[in-house]
Amino acid sequence: MWLIVGLGNPGESYAQTRHNIGFQCVNYLARRHSLEFSGKRAHARIAEGHIARQRVVLAKPVTYMNLSGQAVSGLRSWYKIDPAQELLVIYDDLDLPFGKLRFRQRGSAGTHNGMKSIIGQLGNQDFPRLRIGIGQPPPNYDTIGYVLGRFNKEEAADLPDLYERVADAVELVLSEGLTVAMNKYNA
């Protein structure tokens, strides 16, 4: 079984922001596979089903980003998963150009507070993640305002293709493994 967690902030005012790209991607994945976020468990909205012949739980923490670890830790305990083998966290990354995907098998949180929370709650950083590039803010632009801001017109036009690439990438992890997905998408 796989736990696939998209990071974001709850509430309509954050729904289309850069920082919520994780939520947006798991929403797309759920629609693509006719799964519904009809349940709630461990501080997260969840959708359960199958993707690529694997049992999956898609999750969106209902805590704010900085407390995402509460949901991930609770879901790990509830579903009794091994994070190193059965967890995939999808989130935004300022250090990657817009639309660039990068898988990692483990690693630090960098400057991402949601990932800091997850690593802190799990007690280690040994779990797969998919970083989605949102690009850097313009010079002299407030970083918080940038990540909590909406995509510009050009980026917004590219989002449907980005969601599709993320869904394809997640399906590849589920069907052929993380190494195969890393070789394809990290190139």
The catalytic residue positions are 19
Per-residue exposure over 54-84, b if at least 16 CB sit within 10 Å of its own CB, e if not? eebbbbbbbbebebbbbbbbbbbeebebebe
Of the candidates 115, 119, 151, the residue with the CA atom closest to the CA atom of residue 133: 151
